[in-house]
Structure 1
C-alpha cells in the first residue's frame, strides 16, 4: 500500500495543477477528488492521502489527520526567554556558526526550537524520509506564518529540509560535515498516545530504527557531538557509545550524548 495525493472539494484549477505537480515530484499517484476521503482510501487501497487546498497540505489517514503546527516549540521558546533551560538546547556546544543536522525531522518541533535558539549564530539542516511529512514540512517552511509569533516564523524559514533517510544520507556525506547530529527516532512505545492524539502523524511517520551502524556513520559525519532522544529504558543507551545519558525523574524521555 502507498499514499496518494488529492485535493479538498471545490478547489481552483491552480490548486489542482499544483497538487498534480507535487505528486509527480514526490513520485506519488494523483487522484481527482471524488466522494469522501475515506471512500478514496478504500477504493484505491491507500494508506492515506496528502490533501491540498488553499492552505498547507495535510495528511489524512482515516482514523486521524496531521496538520503542521508549532506545537511545543512555542512553550519551549517562552520558557527559555524566561531563563529556563531547554533539555535539548542545553546540550548544544557553544560555537559561533554551529551546524546541526536533525536526522529525524518528524513534526519539526526540535528543529524549530534549535533554530530559534541558535538564531543567526548557527543553522539547522533536517532530514525526513516520509514523503508526507517532508511535503508538509517543506510547505510549512516556505509559507506557514503565525502573526502572533514572528520569532518562530523566522526560525522556521531558516531550516533547510531534505527528503531522505538518515542511513543513506550519512553514508554519502563527508567527515565532520556537521558539528552536531541529532536523532529522535519514532518510539515503538509511544508516550501518552491517546492523550497526545497523534494517530494521523504516527501513520505518516517513518519507523527506521537507530542502529549501531547509523551511530558509527554519525561519528564520522559529526565534528563535535551526537545527541539521541529515546525512552529512558532504551537498550540503545547500553551499547557503550554514550558518554552520558540525561535521565530525569518523572520524565518519559532521555537524551544520550556521544562526543566525537
Structure 2
C-alpha cells in the first residue's frame, strides 16, 4: 500500500503522512502534482491519502475511494436516544457498563451503537483484519463530528485493533469480555454504494467452529452473530435464532445454559 498526501495543504500533513507510512509498514510517495490515479498506475498498488481532516483509501482496481462515515449508526443512535429499541442491542443485551468484543469491526456501525448503549463505564473493542480498513476507521472514530455529543463520545471510546480475530481470541483470558460479536455479512453489505472500494480489502473467511469455541471462552455472558436470513451457519455453529429482520437474522449462544 502507498501512502501519500492530499493535493491541498500537502506541507501541513507531510510529516503525518510519513509517520502513517511508517506505522503501517507502507511506502511513502510525495504527492507533488501527481493525481491519485497516476500514482496507482505507476506503482500498481492501493493508495492511502492523508488529508488535514480526512483519510481516504483508493483501491487500485478503480473502485470508488473509501473514507470513514458512521453510516446507519447515526440513525440508530438517534433512535436509542429517543428511547427506541435497536435489534442488535436487544440481541446482545448490552446495558450500561458492559464490555463487547466486535470480532468483525468492518465500518464500525454496530460498535458505535454498542458503545453508546454501554456508556462511559462500558468498553467496546473492535477487531479488524484489514490494515487499510482498521486504520481508516480508527482514524475516523477519533475525529468524526456527528453533531451529537453522545455519539461523538461513543465513537471516541471504541478501541480498534488490527488483528486476525481468531489469533486475538486465542491470546485473551477467559471471560474477559461480556459479549463477543460476529457479523460475517460484510461480504454482502459491502455492495452498498460508497463502500464498494473495500471489496479487495474485506475479510471474506467464514466463521468456523474453532473461532466460536474461543469466543465462548472469552465471553462471560454470550456470543452473538448476525447473518443473512437464509444462512445455515446458525444451526451449524450452535446459535439460537432470536431476532429476525427482512434481510438478516441475529443468533445467540448464551453461556451457562
Shared fold (TM-score, shorter chain, > 0.5): yes
Task: Please say if 1:244 is aligned against 2:241.
Answer: yes
Gaps of 5+ in 2: none
Alpha-carbon distance in structure 1 between the residues aligned to 2:48 and 2:100: 29
Equivalenced residues, count: 252
Task: Please say if 1:228 is aligned against 2:228.
Answer: no
Q: 1:156 to 1:240 in 2, by over 3 A?
A: closer
Could you report, residue by residue, the CA deviation over 1:130-176 in whole angstroms, capped at 9, with x for unpaired residues? 11111112212322223x22211111111111111101101111111
Q: 1:100 to 1:176 in 2, by over 3 A?
A: same
Alpha-carbon distance in structure 2 between the residues aligned to 1:192 and 1:140: 18
Cross-structure match for 1:131: 131
Aligned partner (choices 10, 13, 16) of residue 15 of structure 1: 13
Shift of 1:178: 0.6
Cross-structure match for 1:258: 253
Alpha-carbon distance in structure 2 between the residues aligned to 1:131 and 1:11: 25
Retained in 2: the 8 A contact 1:185–1:210? Answer: yes
Q: 1:7 to 1:96 in 2, by over 3 A?
A: closer
Alpha-carbon distance in structure 2 between the residues aligned to 1:228 and 1:245: 10
TM-score normalised by structure 2 residue count: 0.90
TM-score normalised by structure 1 residue count: 0.89
Task: Please say if 1:28 is aligned against 2:26.
Answer: yes
> Within 5 A, what are the aligned runs for 1:202-221?
202-221=199-218
> Within 5 A, what are the aligned runs for 1:108-123?
108-123=108-123
Shift of 1:102: 0.8
Could you report, residue by residue, the CA deviation over 1:219-241 in whole angstroms, capped at 9, with x for unpaired residues? 11111100111111122112151
Gaps of 5+ in 1: none
Retained in 2: the 8 A contact 1:68–1:136? Answer: yes
Shift of 1:56: 2.2
Q: 1:40 to 1:12 in 2, by over 3 A?
A: closer
Could you report, residue by residue, the CA deviation over 1:9-33 in whole angstroms, capped at 9, with x for unpaired residues? 1434341111111111111122222
Alpha-carbon distance in structure 1 between the residues aligned to 2:131 and 2:212: 24
Moved over 4 A (4+): none
Give SS of 1:97's match.
coil
Task: Please say if 1:170 is aligned against 2:169.
Answer: yes
Shift of 1:96: 5.2
Shift of 1:256: 1.0
Shift of 1:54: 1.0
Cross-structure match for 2:3: 5
Does 137-146 or 111-120 show the bigger shift?
Answer: 137-146
Q: CA RMSD in A?
A: 1.9
> Within 5 A, what are the aligned runs for 1:45-56?
45-46=44-45, 48-56=46-54
Q: 1:69 to 1:206 in 2, by over 3 A?
A: same
Q: 1:212 to 1:138 in 2, by over 3 A?
A: same
Alpha-carbon distance in structure 1 between the residues aligned to 2:2 and 2:190: 29
Alpha-carbon distance in structure 1 between the residues aligned to 2:17 and 2:203: 22
Give SS of 1:21's match.
helix
Alpha-carbon distance in structure 2 between the residues aligned to 1:203 and 1:82: 38
